[in-house]
Chains A and B, each alone.
Chain A
């Protein structure tokens, strides 16, 4: 393999702080996001660590229940709004989308930089809220906790989410316009990498959903500050209206987290099986279907909240529908792997982990869409386990898989593959040890959001805390070898995996303008053996 030397590229094109903070290069902005979200990931992880330590024993002996409320609230806010939602789109998406469509940058580079500054400003509000005493409403900000019962920093944290929402909207706008307007000659929609399709679908949710959460948080602030009756029945409002508005965004937000990870997995599975995807159009359109149907299911969060039974029935049925496009993806990845030349590199290990864990997370979602069963497990640890299987087992596995797959492209360096495999295995084991016991203890009746619990649940909690320790180690190891690799690892060359796609045709790290000459595209990505898929189908 020809290893090209590191020439002039986006990393060595200016070293001063100003060259980074005022950059309009999508790749540098991706790095700025990478650093910021990693900071928030470890902050959220710190809160998780404290939660798990507290739950090691049935009594509230490490922190008081009030403090515990703040810990799980801050864990949720930080992880959802400041890590998971921007994670793949703002880092890998920002870095790769223009390259994958054959463009020199996103459609609006200045707006791209603005979105990072907005994100940082929103994050600052949240950090201030945490540092000055935190919030204790849960990340869901349910009324009347948030509107009248809580004395914590609801408005400050809410403002942080409100502001950060704009960053999300601007990123989505940039991605959609770029995909529509800046594709290279010959790059038709059905030649686009599936990662681009998933970014496009994610962007639709960002643009259509985010304004609603912004307004909802604003309404909480209005009711809290001005006592206008929106959610308080005594003032003519309705607390369930909050839940409708909140989940109209926040359920699709789960798809903002998982769709990009699905896009990453589609790329990895093709590259490491040396096959183009089985059923390209189905996988592409299933991303759009998830984005659209995902907006019709929010009421399954309200089955026991006072929502009418008939509305519950409708939302229950609609929730089952969203499983179809998700299953299409899982089946098509499996069919792609079938008889593929599978190589067991670390990105592929994460992809395998994703497929298994997301399947468990998705299938338990069907349990929760069933009204009768949901009444039994609502607000128990079963819910916690379910959504962590999707958000951590799914989204973070996808994020880590993508980071490993494209790290050589981003930095121009490889990483120690042995350690990477060890970390992938550690994450997988630690994750399951943390969250599988929570399915059981939840089904047995342990409620979420309490610092204390019945002594018979302790064994599951000890397992969970032990698992969280392993999982934490699994996250720290990649950070260490990634940092180490920046100076010490061997050069990667243009295409260390032998994968196909525009991003693998340019140098690693890419030059500032990505392509010296605009590429002309004549086929889709991952065309390893075009006739092979036809052979399987017949």
Chain B
């Protein structure tokens, strides 16, 4: 809905950044970083998603209401991860419970 017209160069730049992110993901798969494997992969994926949302979806130039809508989506994702993790992190706390 935003009336903002972005220059084509921006789209190409974001596209190249996304390709670079994909390359980085593939490259990272060749290194075993132990527990950091998932963290690194998810971090790259998150940055790519952010680029798509901000530039391809024009959220950067959108109204505050759109920002609230986008932010609430991420907040809800945090709720899902956060409360699910209360289960995974506390499974071993009581002796004798399933873990």
Contact = CB atoms under 8 A, between A and B. Distances in A.
A315 interface: yes
A314 interface: yes
Contacts of B30: none
Interface stretch (A148-156, A301-309, A388-396, A444-452): A301-309
Given A208-B72, A212-B80, A299-B87, A308 B97 contact: yes
A325 to B, nearest CB: 17
Nearest to B93: A310
Interface string B71-93: 01100100110011011101101
B76 to A, nearest CB: 5
Which of A241, A302, A308: most chain B Cβ within 10 A? Answer: A308
A308 B84 CA distance: 10
Contacts of B79: 295-296
A189 to B, nearest CB: 14
B83 A208 contact: no
A104 to B, nearest CB: 19
Given A308-B91, A308-B97, A314 B86 contact: yes
A18 B67 CA distance: 40
Nearest to B84: A244
Contacts of A244: 80, 84, 87
B94 interface: yes
A208 B76 CA distance: 7
A311 interface: yes
Contacts of B94: 308-310
B65 interface: yes
A227 interface: no
Contacts of B88: 308
A311 B86 contact: yes
Contact of A180 (B65, B73, B83, B91): B65
B98 interface: yes
Contact of A296 (B83, B97, B98): B83
SS class of chain A's interface: helix, strand, loop or mixed? Answer: helix
B42 to A, nearest CB: 16
Interface string B8-24: 00000000000000000
A240 interface: yes
Nearest to B76: A208
A148 to B, nearest CB: 20
Contacts of B80: 212, 244-245, 248
Contacts of B76: 208, 295
Interface string A50-62: 0000000000000
A208 B86 contact: no
Nearest to B82: A296
Interface string A175-189: 000001000000000
A310 B98 contact: no
Given A208-B73, A306-B98, A314 B83 contact: yes
Contacts of A307: 87
Given A208-B76, A296-B79, A311 B65 contact: no
A500 B65 CA distance: 32
Contacts of B87: 240, 244, 299, 302, 307-308, 311
Of listed B65, B76, B94, residue having the most chain A CB within 10 A: B76
Nearest to B80: A248
B18 to A, nearest CB: 21
Contacts of B98: 306
Nearest to A212: B80
A220 B76 CA distance: 22
A500 B87 CA distance: 50
Given A180-B65, A208-B72, A308 B90 contact: yes
Interface of A: 180, 208, 212, 240-241, 244-245, 248, 295-296, 298-299, 302, 306-311, 314-315
Closest 4 CB pairs of A and B: A311-B87, A310-B90, A308-B91, A308-B90
18 contacts: A208-B72, A208-B73, A208-B76, A240-B87, A248-B84, A296-B83, A298-B83, A299-B83, A299-B86, A302-B87, A307-B87, A308-B87, A309-B90, A309-B94, A309-B97, A310-B86, A310-B93, A314-B86
Given A295-B76, A299-B83, A308-B91, 19 more contacts: A180-B65, A208-B76, A212-B80, A244-B80, A244-B87, A245-B80, A296-B79, A298-B83, A308-B86, A308-B87, A308-B88, A308-B93, A308-B94, A309-B90, A309-B93, A311-B86, A311-B90, A314-B83, A314-B86
